[in-house]
């Protein structure tokens, strides 16, 4: 099967649209390509799962974890990597962040933090499940179910 680069945006199922704004998938298969992913300051927090050849960095900082949560970005930022990339982002409506983290969303403004620090992700071994999934479809399903409020039937 030939390698292709993709950028796809999915609308959430109507049953979850009160808290999930959209899902974005970016895949790159060129091992030599330098990538810059702009994060637009749209005010939507999200959960990201990503795998790369060289790690993903935010504005030149340390590598981000494979699974991270980010708060509302109120100023543009960029993510950097080189080589192959698989990137899945679940964008939430701003009011949902407190339900996920138990904290006020202002504490995460313009920040990314490892999601495995939060009990539900740790308890479910979410990162390991995603790393061992063998397809994009499986990863999307795992993330969909892991949001905790989405019935499994919606995610298949």
- Answer whether residue 146 is part of any domain: no
pLDDT at 146: 77
User: Which pLDDT value is given to residue 45?
Assistant: 86
The reply to whether 142 falls in a domain is: no
In a domain, 57, yes or no: yes
The reported pLDDT for the residue numbered 102 is 67
Q: What percent of the chain has pLDDT over 90?
A: 22
What is the value of pTM for the model shown? 0.85
Three-class DSSP category at 10: strand
Q: Does 137 reside within a domain?
A: no
Average pLDDT over residues 101-126: 71
Query: How many domains, the chain?
Result: 1
- Does residue 64 lie in a domain region? yes
Indicate the pLDDT class of residue 121, thresholds 50, 70 and 90: low
- DSSP-derived 3-state class of residue 140: helix
User: How many percent of the chain have pLDDT more than 70?
Assistant: 80
Instruction: Give which of 11, 72, 9 is closest to 39, Cα–Cα.
Output: 72
Residue 53 in any domain: the answer is yes
pLDDT computed for residue 87 by the predictor: 94
DSSP string, 47-111: EEEEEESS--EETT-SBPPSEEEE---SS-EEEEEES-EEEEEEEE-GGGHHHHHSS-GGGGTT-
Q: C-alpha angle with apex 127: 134 to 89, nearest 5 degrees? A: 80
- As a whole number, mean pLDDT of residues 127-147 equals 88
Residues 6+ apart with CB under 8 A from 153: none
pLDDT number for residue 138: 93
Q: Is the per-residue pLDDT at 149 higher than 60?
A: no
- Split at pLDDT 50, 70, 90, the class of 131 is very high
Question: What is the CATH number for 24?
Answer: 2.60.120
Tell me what the pLDDT averaged over the chain comes to. 80
Classify residue 43: in a domain, yes or no. yes
Contact 49, 23 (CB under 8 A): no
Residue 88 belongs to domain spanning: 6-115
Instruction: For residue range 27-83, list pLDDT tens digits in order.
Output: 998 999 898 888 777 778 888 999 999 999 887 677 889 998 888 777 778 889 999
Mean pLDDT of 102-122: 70
Q: Does residue 147 lie in a domain region?
A: no
């Amino acid at each position: 099967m030939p390698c292709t680069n993709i950028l796809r945006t999915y609308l959430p199922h109507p049953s979850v649209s009160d808290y999930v704004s959209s899902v974005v998938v970016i895949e790159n298969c060129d091992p030599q390509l330098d990538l810059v992913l702009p994060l637009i300051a749209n005010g939507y927090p999200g959960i990201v799962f990503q795998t790369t050849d060289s790690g993903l960095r935010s504005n030149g900082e340390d590598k981000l974890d494979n699974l991270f949560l980010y708060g509302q970005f109120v100023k543009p930022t960029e993510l950097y990597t080189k080589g192959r990339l698989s990137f899945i982002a679940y964008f939430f409506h701003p009011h949902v962040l407190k339900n996920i983290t138990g904290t006020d969303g202002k504490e995460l403004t313009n920040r990314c933090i490892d999601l495995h620090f939060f009990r539900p992700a740790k308890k479910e071994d979410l990162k390991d499940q995603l790393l061992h999934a063998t397809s994009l479809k499986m990863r999307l399903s795992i993330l969909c179910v892991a949001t905790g409020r989405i019935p499994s039937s919606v995610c298949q």
